Every structure is written in structure tokens, then in C-alpha cells.
Amino acid sequence: MTHGPGMNGLILDEPLLWEKGKKGRCGFSMVEQDVPEANLDNLENLLGDGPDFPDLSEIDVVRHYTRLSTWNFGVDTGMYPLGSCTMKYNPKINEKMAAMPGITTSHPLLEDKLSQGTLQIMFELQKFLAHITGMDAVSLQPAAGAQGELTGMQIFAAWFRKKGEKRNKILIPDTAHGTNPASAALCGFKPVAIKSGADGTLDVKVVTELMDEETVGIMLTNPNTLGLFEESIRDVTTIVHEKGGLVYCDGANMNAVMGVVDFKRCGIDVMHLNLHKTFSTPHGGGGPGAGPVCVVDQLKNFLPVPRVKHEKGRYYLEYDHPDSIGRLHAFFGNFGVLVRAYSYILSMGAGNLKKASQLAVLNANYVREAFRDVLHLAYDKPCMHECVFSDKMQHKYKVTTLDMAKRLIDHGYHPPTIYFPLVVPGAIMIEPTETENRDDLDQFVAVFKDVVREAKENSERLREAPTRTKLRRLDETRAARKPCLIG
């Protein structure tokens, strides 16, 4: 505990909402009843009693959530090196922009002429994302990365349907994020796992063997979930294309390669971006996100409708695309998230976006070097935005990745992603992001090294961690065995 920010402090307890309150209290400002009460007579058997909600005063609600918030840890609290999640700083100004009254009150069903400003944001953001990825056309509708993947898979399906081809397998590397096979399966495809090569990247030979004319193509992540760039990407995409297949790229790790990699040149046909990662929109404890889908020209007619267009100074929605896969969202996706990403891109400009990727990669490599003698490095190659270690060197002390992760909490750090990707047993996946400064990285490294030292010298302490949080280790098995999902 010599370097870290972790220490004890007073935080307050707080019961569940319905353990508070008194019937008749009210935390809501009631509007005047300026019209006569309407007749309820014809409603008898439809009327209910309303739900049993606790009645609270305004201060009750304020204290409840203020206290709950103090049990949480966010990027604003401290370093959050959660691999694959790109927990970078979320600029406050973006929140302000998304909260502008004209934006928050705009209704999604009005005629285009009443919504020019909102359509403009969407149109320009589409253009920006196309330019950033190198792709040709973009739909902003997917509400998260996984829905972006689903969209992409549906485009695959529609493409082959249109061509009259019946294909139903899809190649997915074993390092893929869980959403990849799940999204493919939702579309009725049968995922075929590709074992990644000894160096953690795709083996062209394996792809060649597996790719055939019953396979729609490949769904890969680049940079992949080991934090490595798929160097043979051009060969892979060529092979797939030669067999009439399409290539999907999970672009959730775009933060490593903005201004560095052109995905169209790599041979990608469809990709999604996670705006809540690369483009700095906050994660909100689980969402909302946004997972725009970018495609090459030949697939643009398959994108979801409506599409946002611009002509003669007028923005408009276009519905008439018979090849379109249809709609994925009731309206235009998580528009408020799009506004934040748009605001971020405008604040950064081309140079800073590229710089952000460079620094993200620099930070990851710096951390990778720093730990190489205390943690087992899963693949000893230069990494991109994240680096993956394992607990192999700690096995002899009967200390696991989980123990080290929990002990980091005591020191005031959010742990890295653990036990993912599955191909690295006991994985510890660290993604510092570019917004961490060097001093903070050094402190993190020093603390983690302390933990590693403790693994040897006082391993019990790690197995008991965390001890400084409001609650100690939680019993997840019990939660799953006898689920208690409502109170």
C-alpha cells in the first residue's frame, strides 16, 4: 500500500427504495389540473390500482442515489484498465451538447423539414465514420456493438439471399468476443471456430482450409482481442472473397488504429464501431452505447432504413431500399449517444484522433514492457491498444487472476478484464487507453507489482481481497443457483 491511492473512508449505507418511504409522500412536482376530470365510467374492467411503489420525498430520492453512487467506481474516479472496453475519459462538454433543449425535445416522427438539425448531425457523423474507417456507407441505427454485429450478419444473409446462394456456416476465430458467435447464430448461421495461430493471430492456412462455398465468410476482430493486429488480414480477405464470401470486422478495437489502418483497403466488407469505446461516450454502468455499421459500396443498399441523405442543402430520410434488411430500432438508434460521439470527433479533428491511437498503443506497450518480468506474457509480440498476461507465474503460490484482480481493488484500481479471451487461461487483459498519463501508469505498475509480490509473500491477503470496499467478495454461485431477481 505504499504507492496506491487506495485507503479507507466513510461511506454510507442505504436501504432498498421500498424499505424507505411513507404512503402519501411525494417527490414529484405535480402539474395543475387545468382541465375537468374525465369520465371513467366506460373503463370499469380495464382500470387497475396502479403499482405498489414506495412514496418518497425529493430529498429521499436525492440521498438514495447520491449514496448509491458512492459505492461505485467510474473513469472519473480512477484508472479503469478494462481490456477490450476502452475506458477512456468521457468529456463533460459532450454531455452538455447532448442535453441542449432543442436536441432533447426533438420528436422522431415529424416531417424532415422540422428536424433538419438532428438529421444534419446524423448525416455528418455518418460521413465522419466512413472517413475514419475508410468504408463507404454507414448506418447509425444499431444501439450497441452486438446489434451492429447482428446488422452485419443480416446484411450477409440478405446478400446471399439476393444472390440465391444458400450458405450457412461462418468462420469465427476462437478469440472472438462472445457477441460474435451469438450474433451470427441469431441470424441462423453456424459458427465454425478457427483456432488462432501460435502467435495469437489468424493462420492463413487454416482459413484456406475452412473457407468454402457453404460458408458466408468470416467474422473477425481487428485488432483482435489479444490486442494484436491481424497481419495477414489481406490474405485472409482475399481467400474469403475468392470463395464468394464476405468479411465482417468487429471494429470495437478501432481505438488502436484511427488514421493508421484503412479497413476497406484491408478487404473488409462490413464492420461495426463501438462509439461508447473509441468515441468516448460514457458507458453508463452498462449502456447505452451505439454500434454503427460501415459497409463497402456494393453492400450499401442492404443497410437498415431509413437512411439519412443530403441534397441541395436539405437533409432527408430515405426509406425506399428494397434490398434493405429493414429496421433494427424503433427510431434512429441511440441518438443521444451519437451526439456525444459527433461532439468528440469535432473536438478532436483528424490529427488528434490519430494521436489518440498512437498514445493508446504507446501506453499499452509501455505497460506490457513494465510487467514482462512479473507476469506471464501470453504472446510476446508488440501489442496494439491492450496487452494480455496470465497468472501462470503465480500458480505456484496458489494465487489466481481473480485474487490479484480483487486485491487491485483494495489499492483503488478497477481490475483489468480477466479470464478473457478464453484462449489464454487465467487471462489478465490490460487496456490503459490514451487518456492515462505516464505518472498514473507508473503508479499502477508499481501497485500491481506490489500485488504480485504479495502473491508470493502473503498470498492469503490476496485471497481475502477486497477488504476495503463496502462489501467483500460476493457469492456469485449462490446468486445463480437460487435467483432472487426482484425484491
Partner 1 sequence: MRYLPHTTEEIGEMLAATGHERLEDLFSHIPQACRYQGEIDIPKPLSEWALNDHFIAIEKNIQTASAKAILVGGGSYSHHIPQIVTSLMSRSEFLTAYTPYQPEMAQGTLQGIFEYQTLTARLLGMEVANASMYDGASALAEALLMSLRIQKKKTSVAVSSAIHPHYREVVRSYLLAGSFNIVELETGPDGRTDLSKLQDIEDLAGVALQSPNFFGVIEDLETAGTAIHSVDALFISCFTEPFAYGLFRSPGQCGADIVCGEGQSFGMSQSFGGPGLGMFCCRSKYQRNIPGRVVGETVDIEGKRGYVLTLSTREQHIRREKATSNICSNQGICSLTAAAYMASLGGTGLRRVARLNYDKASYLKNALVECGARPLFNSPTFNEFVLNFADDFEPVRNRLIDKGIVAGINLGRFYHEYEGAYLFCVTETTSKAILDAVISEVRS
Ligand X SMILES: Cc1ncc(COP(=O)(O)O)c(C=O)c1O
Residue 17: name its binding partner from ligand X, partner 1, a second copy, none (Cβ under 5 to 8 Å by kind): partner 1
- The one-letter code for the residue type at 254 is M
Give me the phi and psi of 135, to 5 degrees please.
-85, 175
Does position 466 bind a second copy by CB under 8 A?
yes
Q: Which stretch binds partner 1 (CB under 8 A): 243-251, 293-301, 344-352, 451-459?
A: 344-352
What is the closest distance, in whole angstroms, from the C-beta atom of residue 438 to ligand X in the complex? 25
60 binds a second copy, rule: CB under 8 A? yes
Tell which residue, 161, 188, 476, 151, has the closest CA to residue 323: 161
Gyration radius of the chain's alpha carbons: 25
- Give the rounded distance of the alpha carbon of 114 from its chain centre: 32
Of 6 and 173, the one with the shorter C-beta distance to ligand X is: 173
Closer of 139 and 394 to ligand X (Cβ) = 139
Distance CA 234, CA 261 (A): 12
In the complex, minimum distance from the CB of residue 68 to ligand X, in angstroms, rounded to a whole number: 23
**Least Å distance between CB 308 and ligand X?**
21
Contacts (Cβ under 8 Å, ≥6 apart) of 194: 171, 172, 173, 174, 202, 203, 206, 207, 210, 218
Residue range at the interface with partner 1 (CB under 8 A); choices 202-210, 211-219, 276-284, 294-302: 276-284
Q: Which amino acid is at 307?
A: R
Q: Which residues contact 364 (CB under 8 A, 6 or more apart)?
A: 227, 383, 384, 385, 386, 387, 430, 431, 432
- The set of cell numbers assigned to 164 is 440465391
CA angle, residues 193, 196, 202, in degrees to nearest 5 = 105
State in angstroms the smallest separation of the CB of 196 from a second copy.
34
Site for partner 1 in 397-416 (CB under 8 A): 405-406, 409, 414-415
C-alpha cell at 181: 458467435
User: b vs e for 50-73, b when ≥16 Cβ sit within 10 Å of the residue's Cβ?
Assistant: eeeebebeeebbeebeeeeeeeee
Q: Which x/- pattern, by CB under 8 A, does the window 132-151 give for partner 1?
A: x-x--------xxxxx-xx-
CB 130 within 8 A of CB 138: yes
Give the nearer residue to partner 1 in terms of CB position, either 226 or 266.
Answer: 266
Query: What is the rounded CA–CA span in Å between residue 215 and residue 398?
Result: 44
Shortest separation between residue 211's beta carbon and partner 1, angstroms: 19
Of positions 2, 8, 23, 198, contacts partner 1 by CB under 8 A: 23
Chain-centroid distance of CA 400 in Å reads 26
C-alpha cell at 110: 415529424
Q: Which does 84 bind (CB under 5 to 8 A by kind): ligand X, a second copy, partner 1, none?
A: ligand X
Interface positions, 182-201, toward partner 1 (CB under 8 A): 182-191
| 7 touching a second copy, by CB under 8 A | yes
Task: Name 377's bridge partners.
Answer: 389
For 311-371, the DSSP string reads ETTEEEEE---TT----SSSSSS-HHHHHHHHHHHHHHHHHHHHHHHHHHHHHHHHHHHHH
Closer of 261 and 370 to ligand X (Cβ): 261
322 is an interface residue for partner 1 by CB under 8 A: no
Distance from C-alpha of 354 to C-alpha of 356, rounded to nearest angstrom: 5
Smallest separation (angstroms) from partner 1 to the CB of 146? 5
Choice from 214, 362, 469, 473 touching a second copy (CB under 8 A): 469
- Rule CB under 8 A: is residue 81 a binding residue for a second copy? no
**CB under 5 to 8 A by kind: which of a second copy, partner 1, ligand X, none does 8 bind?**
a second copy
Q: From CA 140, how far away is CA 151, in angstroms rounded? A: 11
The stretch among 34-42, 87-95, 256-264, 357-365 that binds a second copy (CB under 8 A) is 87-95
How near is the Cβ of 98 to partner 1 at its closest, in Å? 7
Q: Is 409 in the site for a second copy (CB under 8 A)?
A: yes
User: Out of ligand X, partner 1, a second copy, none, which partner does residue 196 contact, by CB within 5 to 8 A per kind?
Assistant: none
Give the nearest distance from C-beta 255 to a second copy in angstroms.
15
Closer by beta carbon to partner 1, 114 or else 398: 114
Q: Does 235 bind a second copy (CB under 8 A)?
A: no
Task: Name the binder of 192 from partner 1, a second copy, ligand X, none, CB < 5-8 A by kind.
Answer: none
Q: Which residues bind ligand X (CB under 6 A)?
A: 84, 144-146, 177, 179, 221, 225, 250, 252-253, 274, 289, 291
- DSSP labels for 382-407? --SS-EEEESGGGGGGT--HHHHHHH
Q: Interface residues for a second copy in 92-111 (CB under 8 A)?
A: 92
